[in-house]
Amino acid sequence: MPNGVSQWDGVRNYEARNNMKNGMKIKDKVLFYHSNCKTPGIAGLAEIVKEAYPDYTAFDESHPYYDPKSNKDNPKWFMVDVKFVRKFNRLITLKELQAHKDDGLKGMALLSRGRLSIQPVKKEHYDFILELEKKI
């Protein structure tokens, strides 16, 4: 990734798309969560550097994220650009996060909507997770 910046493309879930399109603003921090692996968890931080714009991969017939129902004049799918901030000192596993579902992470979307790729995170949950990272 040049300068640690990457496009977050390929989002094909309406709720996740809406969270990206309507909720992500420049300088917002992003918790980078590994989900498709043996031990899911939060691995680091990124930052939004470009707000939502049409996901051009939806228009490219040769691309895996191609959507024949998407229209350039009225795009259905969007993406943002994110910049790597830092890797966490340790992986904060889903199991560890779940252990706090009744206290510091009560009501966190990830713990009830785990399959949704883009979710808002409340400031108190974000701060709690940064404190969790310090614990060994």
Q: Residue ranges of the domains in the chain?
A: 2-134
CA–CA separation, 81 vs 113, rounded Å?
A: 23
The mean pLDDT values, 10 residues at a time, for the chain of 136 residues are 85 93 96 88 96 96 94 94 96 95 93 82 96 90
CA nearest neighbour of 52 among 90, 78, 75, 89: 78
Give residue 4's pLDDT.
86
Give residue 1's pLDDT.
64
CA nearest neighbour of 48 among 118, 105, 108: 118
SS (HEC) of 103-129: CCCCCCHHHCCCCCCCCCCCHHHHHHH
Cβ pair 77, 12 in contact under 8 A = yes
Tokens 């420049």, residue located? 26
Give residue 122's pLDDT.
95
- Topology adopted by domain 2-134: ph1033 like fold (3.10.590)
DSSP 65-86: T--TT-BTTB---EEEEEEEEE
